[in-house]
Amino acid sequence: MTSYINNQAGNRMAADVIRLAAELQDSPGDGRISKADAKQLADKLNDGGILTDPERRALDHLKRTGKVNFTPAAYDDFVHEMRSKGAERGWVTRLANEAQTEDQKDLGSATQSMLDARMQQKKPV
């Protein structure tokens, strides 16, 4: 279960994302988030299939306050991973919308066919 903390504006942020970022940065090394750590953070943010508003706010908070320091390669990988997952979600939504539109077209054409058939039956000969 996700726990939350409030930012200064009173909006909820995902506490587990902030904690994980702090733990990864404090892990042995040079005090920056490595490529492996960046992958772990991206996986945490993408674990539910969507990036929730509290997770987005937590990520914005970390970037804005400078509390997270990535290596250049780790930052590139993190951004790529987040964009890739976002693109996947976008395609899934687009395909679902297209399928729904096709179903509506099929329904519309079936309804129109029924109406045309009824009109043909009612025409005087």
User: pTM for the whole thing?
Assistant: 0.65
Q: How far apart are CA 39 and CA 45, in angstroms?
A: 10
What's the distance, Cα to Cα, between the start and end of the chain in Å? 71
Tens-of-pLDDT digits for all 125 residues of the chain? 567 777 666 778 888 888 998 888 888 878 889 999 999 999 888 887 778 889 888 888 888 888 788 899 999 999 998 888 888 878 777 887 777 776 666 656 666 666 677 667 665 55
The total number of structural domains in the chain stands at: 1
Report the pLDDT value the prediction gives residue 93, as an integer from 0 to 100.
79
Residues spanned by the domain of 36? 4-122
